[in-house]
Amino acid sequence: MQNNKFPQDFLWGAATAAYQVEGAWNEDGRGESIWDRFSHTPGRITNGDTGDIACDHYHRWEEDIALMRRLGLKAYRFSTSWSRVLPGGRGLINPKGLDFYDRLVDRLCVANIEPLLTLYHWDLPQTLQDEGGWENRSTAHAFADYAALMVKRLGDRVKYWTTFNEPSVITYIGFITGEHAPGFQDPRVAYQVAHHLMVAHGLGTQAIRAANADVNAGIVLNLWPAEPASDSVEDVAAANKYWEKQETLFLDPIFKGHYPPAVYNMVGPNMPKIQDGDMALIAQQLDFVGINFYSRHVISSTGELKEIEGSEYTEMGWEVCAPALRRMLVKINSEYNLPPIFITENGASFKDEVSADGKIHDPRRIDYLKNHFIQTRLAMLDGVDVHGYMVWSLMDNFEWGLGFSKRFGLTYVNYATQQRVLKDSGEWYAEVIRKNEVWEYHT
Ligand code: IFM
Per-residue model confidence as pLDDT tens digits over 57-91: 999 999 999 999 999 999 999 999 999 999 999 99
Residue 179 lies in a domain: yes
CATH number for 106:
3.20.20.80
State the distance from the centre of ligand 1 to the C-alpha of 52, rounded, in angstroms: 18
- pTM: predicted TM-score of the whole model, two decimal places: 0.98
166 a catalytic residue? yes
Between CA 131 and CA 28 the distance in angstroms is 24
Q: Which amino acid, residue 22? A: E
Residue 443 lies in a domain: no
Per-residue pLDDT tens listing for the chain (443 residues): 467 899 999 999 999 999 999 999 999 999 999 999 999 999 999 999 999 999 999 999 999 999 999 999 999 999 999 999 999 999 999 999 999 999 999 999 999 999 999 999 999 999 999 999 999 999 999 999 999 999 999 999 999 999 999 999 999 999 999 999 999 999 999 999 999 999 999 999 999 999 999 999 999 999 999 999 999 999 999 999 999 999 999 999 999 999 999 888 889 899 999 999 999 999 999 999 999 999 999 999 999 999 999 999 999 999 999 999 999 999 999 999 999 999 999 999 999 999 999 999 999 999 999 999 999 999 999 999 999 999 999 999 999 999 999 999 999 999 999 999 999 999 999 999 999 999 764 44
Q: Domain tally for the chain? A: 1
Counting atoms of ligand 1 from 1, which one is nearest the CA of 397? 1
Give ligand 1 pocket residues (Cβ under 6 A).
17, 20, 166, 222, 292, 345, 392, 399, 408
345 a catalytic residue? yes
Work out the angle between the directed axes of helices 187-211 and 138-154 (0-180°, nearest 10): 30
**Quick one: pLDDT at residue 162?**
98
**Quick one: pLDDT at residue 1?**
45
**Quick one: pLDDT at residue 443?**
40
Question: Which residues form the domain of 154?
Answer: 4-438
Q: Beta-carbon neighbour count of residue 110 at 10 Å?
A: 9
**Quick one: pLDDT at residue 378?**
96
State the distance from the centre of ligand 1 to the C-alpha of 201, rounded, in angstroms: 20
**Quick one: pLDDT at residue 3?**
78
Between CA 263 and CA 130 the distance in angstroms is 29
State the distance from the centre of ligand 1 to the C-alpha of 399, rounded, in angstroms: 7
Instruction: Give every CB contact of residue 17 below 8 A, 6+ residues apart in sequence.
Output: 78, 79, 118, 121, 122, 165, 397
**Quick one: pLDDT at residue 2?**
64
Residue 269 lies in a domain: yes
Region label for 91, one of left (φ > 0), alpha (ψ between -120 and 50) or beta (otherwise)? left
Q: Whose CA is closest to 90, among 148, 163, 39?
A: 148
Please write the tens of the pLDDT for every residue from 367-406: 999 999 999 999 999 999 999 999 999 999 999 999 999 9
**Quick one: pLDDT at residue 299?**
98
Counting atoms of ligand 1 from 1, which one is nearest the CA of 165? 5
The β-bridge partners of 420 are 413
**Quick one: pLDDT at residue 264?**
85
Residue 138 lies in a domain: yes
State the distance from the centre of ligand 1 to the C-alpha of 345, rounded, in angstroms: 8
**Quick one: pLDDT at residue 159?**
98
Q: Which residue, by CA, sits nearest to atom 4 of ligand 1?
A: 17
Residue 266 lies in a domain: yes
Name the residue of 35, 118, 390, 400 to mutate for ligand 1: max ligand atoms within 8 A of Cβ: 400
**Quick one: pLDDT at residue 440?**
63
Q: Whose CA is closest to 403, among 82, 40, 64?
A: 40
